[in-house]
Amino acid sequence: MALPLAALALSGCAVPTFGVKPGATTSSKSVYHLWVGFTIGALIIGVFVLLLIAYAVLRYRRKDDSIPRQVQYHLPLEWTYVIIPILIVFGLFAATLVVENKELANPKTDVTIDVNAFQWGWKFTYPGTNAVVVGQTTDAPTMVMPVDTNVHINLTSTDVIHGFYVRAFNFSRYALPGVDNQFTFNAVKTGTFFGQCTQLCGLYHSLMFFNVKVVSKSAYQTWLAQQNNAGAAQAAATVNQQQTNTYVPTKPTSGSGVK
Amino acid sequence: MTDVLQPPADIPAHDEAHGHDEHHGPTGILKWITTTDHKIIGLSYTVTSVIMMVIGGFFAEIIRAQLATPNGHLVSLAQYNELFTMHGSVMIYLFVGPFAFGALANIIVPIQIGAPDMAFPRLNALSYWLYLTGSITMLSGFFTAGGAANFGWVGYAPLSNSLNTPGSGADLWIGGLLLTGFSAIFTGVNLCATIFYLRAPGMTMFRMPIFTWNLLVTAILILLAFPVLTAGLIMLYADRHFGTHIYSVAGGGVPVLWQHIFWFWGHPEVYILALPFFGMATEIIAVFSRKPVFGYKGMIFATLSIAALSLGVWAHHMFTTGVVLLPFFSIMSLLIAVPTGIKIFNWIGTMWRGQVWFSTAMLMAVGFVVTFLIGGLTGIYLASPPLDFFTHDTYFVVAHFHSVVMALVMGAMGGLYYWGPKITGYLLNERVGKFQFWFLFIGTQVFTLPQYVLGLKGMPRRIAIYPHNPEWKMLNDWSSLGALLIGISTLLFVANIVVSWKKYPAGDNPWDAHTLEWFTTSPPPHHNFYRLPPIRSERPTWDYNHPEHRALGHGSHKNEVAAEVVHKAPHS
């Protein structure tokens, strides 16, 4: 039952969205179809069972003190409600596998973004360039990425576990300390999308926002060039500042602490 | 030889002032402190765990009041973290579990199988005192300088290490959890030993009531799961204080290890919490439909398969970590829907063509089934990794498990209305009870259903404010209104105890029930029974009271007349 339903959903007929949108990436759309398939199945089963319960409690409401027939067991019926659910479950599992494999595929990518979560903000770095975007709590950073491109994300955390969640991408992933979590986004439309930390990470968990801005490929290149130059200048400034501010121990010890 | 053991002539009838063995123990407060009687320990558990429910519910009301506006100022961010941590901890560790396998199981299981007490009465008392001290320990975190634990009831490392959560509230949380964990383990040992060794003659395994069966399986799950949590907590404590690096990257440890350990306990724990209430609902539905449990053996096999599957699904709490994306965990989690579905169909089958009597207990049981159905169906989504990715740690998950646990609360209330008269000897007021049910049932749906939508709109869990998303306010307000209705239902329950206090004597068997506990007096005498009926099925009391209405198995329908003729023949 579930598999044809999932197929129906995957074919993209005009069905209700049940609160989930197709989203802004290629895989968010498959996830959305899976959602619709699951929901149609759940609604059919749920309404059927609720009607059975309603019928039982209304139709067989106590009328007198007589004792009903003490019927117990009906093996064919019992096997029916074992086997049909098993078939449904395997249907749901098959649909899950198809979508999951698609979503977690790691295709060849042109753009890589390192996302680093920390208490309580985000740092987006673009390897191979000097572009860095960082911001925390009320100053939410924006991750810029090109449309129609496989964008590879390396997700890490410097301290505790955070949740990298973009509602419009129908996706979230934990940022784990010591683990390099990798996945790919392929955005299908431009726009700015809201993101937020979903895994409790301490005091300012409620304020750990970020934005994802999907721009055209040319706009992305322009942005990256700007950031690259600005980043280079800033990096130089930071190095200078660090040099001037270098902490010099009063009693320098050989070895430790010296790079 | 007769089938019924009559009390010897020199023993006074049980409804006289005292049985022969009632005078030995102390009375008053000393009785409550020194007792090893499973019924009194069970009552202590009941009172303590219901108080915990009220405390946890109070935290929930503050949380919902805070979330009623996008920039709530009722509590600070730090206080909010403490509140939801302790709300979850109190409800899961100190209310639902101890209520299920400490309170009702303690009182009912020995009587249901015709035993005089639990197998290890002193260990049973120890369980209770560990539970009480553990509860006080955990809650005392509020009186420390740094406040109570604030890392969520799951205590994920490395947020729960001494660097990120330095306060002693966290240590008290660990300590309290260790104590209540040992309490649960001892109760598990006790229940297993009692059910395996203290059954009355004739009470074979397949004549045990479903409630006792479920508690047996629960006890086995406790023994498999709780030691893992205990070990994990000790390692967490060592990380915090003894400089080990089991969960910290800096010393070569693995933070995700805590999640594996926690959920290896945590998922069986879900069924440790749920199975006793499945059992309660099964008993109540059968009794108030005046029919045997429809698929009695199917029910038992469903319970056993839920328990077996529950040991292999822990990683579905961890799909979003990205480190355990094995499809194995997905299919195992999905498969749990099958035995759960069997149970729901069996409950419907039990009511089918019965005489469904809507006492408060029955309303609560049907409310349990409906609410659990909603929680179960939304749980199926979460077993599918692509759907879990974007709903995990949002209010969708919060709504899912609150549908489940609020169903358990209805089961708990049903259990109290159903078995309370057996323990206390007095019924509760049915009119107030029905008001309580409707407040609880409608409140639960008004509370959870908007949260599903909030989750899909992207509201993460455990946030105190949502300044960028004021459009979430309306749904949050509905949810808060639902929480208020649930709070009113709790007050109605307390009020019902007050107005019904010793007012409506119950008698031995007010519901015309099926199982052995309804054969003895209310409350039962010191060692539970003066006499036992013959145990020829899973419904000995019913068989004794209605010998002409035995259960008719499938295929026996045609031979019904013949069966009755055989039954009317004199017993050998």
More confident position, B413 or B27: B413
| Contact (CB<8Å) B352/A89 | no
Q: Is the Cβ of B54 closer than 8 Å to some Cβ of chain A?
A: no
Domains, in order of start, for chain B = 40-568 (1.20.210.10)
Contact B25, B36 (CB under 8 A): no
Reduced to 3 states (helix: H, G, I; strand: E, B; else coil), residue B216 is: helix
Which residues on B lie below 8 Å from A194 (Cβ)?
458, 468-469
- pLDDT tier at B519, thresholds 50, 70, 90: very high
> In the predicted model, what is the mean pLDDT of residues B466-487?
95
Q: Which of B254, B290, B460 sits opposite A67 (nearest CB)?
A: B290
Q: What integer is the mean pLDDT of B235-247?
A: 94
pLDDT grade for B554, boundaries at 50, 70 and 90: low
Q: Which residue of A has its CA nearest to B285?
A: A57
Residue from B69, B159, B329 to probe the interface with A (highest A Cβ count within 10 Å):
B159
- The residue written with tokens 């919490």 in the block is B273
pLDDT for position A16 = 82
Answer whether B98's CB lies under 8 Å from B182's CB. no
Tell me how many residue pairs between chain A and chain B have CB atoms under 8 A apart: 261
Contact B464/A72, CB-based, under 8 Å? Answer: no
Using one digit for the tens of pLDDT, what is the confidence trace for B269-299?
Answer: 999 999 999 999 999 999 999 999 999 999 9
Burial B251-263 (b: 16+ CB within 10 A, else e): eebbbbebbbbbb
Residue of chain A whose alpha carbon sits nearest to that of B256 = A176
Chain B residues in contact with A48 (beta carbon < 8 A): none
CB contact under 8 A, A176 and B341: no
Q: What pLDDT is stored for residue A6 in this prediction?
A: 52
Q: pLDDT for B151-189, tens place per residue?
A: 999 999 899 999 899 989 999 999 999 999 999 999 999
Smallest Cβ distance to B380: which of A38, A172, A201?
A38
| Mean pLDDT of the residues in chain B | 91
**Would you call B249 and A34 a contact, using CB atoms and an 8 Å cutoff?**
no
Q: Is residue B75 packed enough to be buried (19+ CB in 10 Å), middle (13-18) or exposed (0-12)?
A: middle
State the nearest Cα–Cα gap between B454 and chain A, in angstroms. 10
Q: What is the mean pLDDT of residues B19-46?
A: 82
Inform me whether the C-beta atom of residue B292 falls under 8 Å from chain A C-beta atoms.
yes
Number of other CB atoms surrounding residue B22 within 10 Å = 11
Residue B11 confidence (pLDDT) above 50: no
Minimum-distance CB partner of A72 among B292, B370, B394: B292
Check residue A241 and give its pLDDT. Answer: 59
Question: Minimal Cα distance from B259: which residue of A?
Answer: A161
pLDDT at A64: 87
The token pair at A56 is: 């039982």
Is the pLDDT at B14 greater than 80? The verdict is no
Query: Which among B321, B437, B514 is the top mutation candidate for probing chain A, defined by the most A β-carbons within 10 Å of its own β-carbon?
Result: B321
pLDDT confidence bin for B15, thresholds 50/70/90: very low
Q: Which B positions 392-411 lie with beta carbon below 8 A of chain A?
A: 392-394
For residue A137, the model assigns a pLDDT of 82
ipTM above 0.90, yes or no: no
C-alpha distance from A11 to closest chain B C-alpha (Å): 18
Q: What is the pTM of this model?
A: 0.90
* Inter-chain CB proximity A35 and B159 less than 8 Å: no
Question: Residues near B386 by Cβ (< 8 Å), separated by ≥ 6?
Answer: A27, A30, A31, A34, A96, A99, A100, A103
Stretches in chain A below the pLDDT threshold 70: 1-14, 235, 237-259
pLDDT value for B551:
87
Label the pairing between strands A191-197 and A111-118.
unpaired
Q: Which residues of B touch A46 (CB under 8 A)?
A: 373-374, 377
Q: Which of A157, A198, A208, A210 to mutate to test the interface with B (most CBs of B within 10 A)?
A: A198
Model pLDDT, residue A107: 83
**Does pLDDT of B550 surpass 90?**
no
Domains, chain A, in order of start with CATH, read: 2-59+78-103 (no CATH), 111-242 (2.60.40.420)
In 10 A of CB A134, how many CB atoms? 13
Distance CA B287, CA B513 (A): 5
Enumerate the residues of chain A whose CB falls inside 8 A of the CB of residue B341: 81, 85
SS3 B426: strand
CB contact under 8 A, A198 and B330: no
